[in-house]
Amino acid sequence: MSMKAKTRGPAFTGILTLLLYGCGTSQVPDYYLLTANAQPASGASSDLIIGVGPIEVSDFLERPQIAIHSGTNRLEIDELNRWAEPLDRAVIRVMALNLAALLGTEKITGFPWRRDDRPDFAIRIAILALDHRQGQAVLGVSWVLVDTEAKQSVHQELKRYQQSSSNEPELLAAAYSDLLVELAADIVNRIRTNTNATANAQSPAPAADDSG
């Protein structure tokens, strides 16, 4: 073996070792959860059974990686920061807990539900945007309140929620969670408005006064 070959041998081995070491120390992703932050409403109580779902998530969000816009039409996929569960299941879980707290009930069921456990109202939600733009966490959502007995929608709304937030993943997940509380509060207000209107419509008219 030549001297030239001998001097290259250890150098090549060292490079190969570094390459193998680098491949074996790739970064492990961090995982984040959405949380239910709604505080129980004082004196709130309801006998209604509320169903949450189905939940639809825009295709570009149906991935474990956290995705945000980094330009007008550019999406940044963060491989090292991921959701701990599929977003549709996360939204069902968080919204069920938020609605239970705000309505003062444990009668919340997630989609799909059993035929013998049909809710009084079902809330269908489409997540159109879950993003960070210009220093704001953004939740874009379309939701429908369905009277399951009448089999018809009683309210439909398209709304954008936002609040100031860093794009740091943990803070962003917290901001998204807060925005879901705002969504839950709007839904609860609509449920109460609808049930009050129904109750008033079903109340008997006061008897006529014939004393005169």
Q: Is the model's pLDDT at 149 over the cut of 90?
A: no
Convert the pLDDT of each residue in 108-129 to its tens digit.
Answer: 999 988 888 889 999 999 999 9
pLDDT at 10: 58
Residue 50 predicted with pLDDT over 80: yes
Tokens of 174: 């917290």
Long-range contacts of 111-117 (CB under 8 A, 24+ apart): 111/51, 111/52, 111/53, 111/54, 111/55, 112/53, 112/54, 113/51, 117/49
- Higher pLDDT among residues 58 and 203, named by residue: 58
- Segment 66-92, tens digit of pLDDT: 998 887 789 999 999 999 999 999 999
Q: How far, in Å, CA of 99 to CA of 40, rounded? A: 9
DSSP, residue by residue, 42-60:
TT------EEEEEEEE-GG
Residue 102 has pLDDT above 80, yes or no: yes
Question: Tokens 């009668």 belong to which residue?
Answer: 107
pLDDT at 9 over 70: no
How would residue 52 be classed by pLDDT, with cut points 50, 70 and 90?
Answer: very high
Q: What angle do CA 140, 144, 149 make, to 5 degrees?
A: 165
Q: State the chain's mean pLDDT as an integer.
A: 86
Q: Which DSSP state fits 40? A: P
In this prediction the pTM is 0.81
Average pLDDT score over residue span 152-172 = 96
Q: Quick one: pLDDT at residue 8?
A: 54
Structure token digits, residue 133: 């733009």
Set out the domains of the chain in order of their start, with CATH numbers.
43-193 (3.40.50.10610)
Q: Cα separation of 128 and 56, whole Å?
A: 8
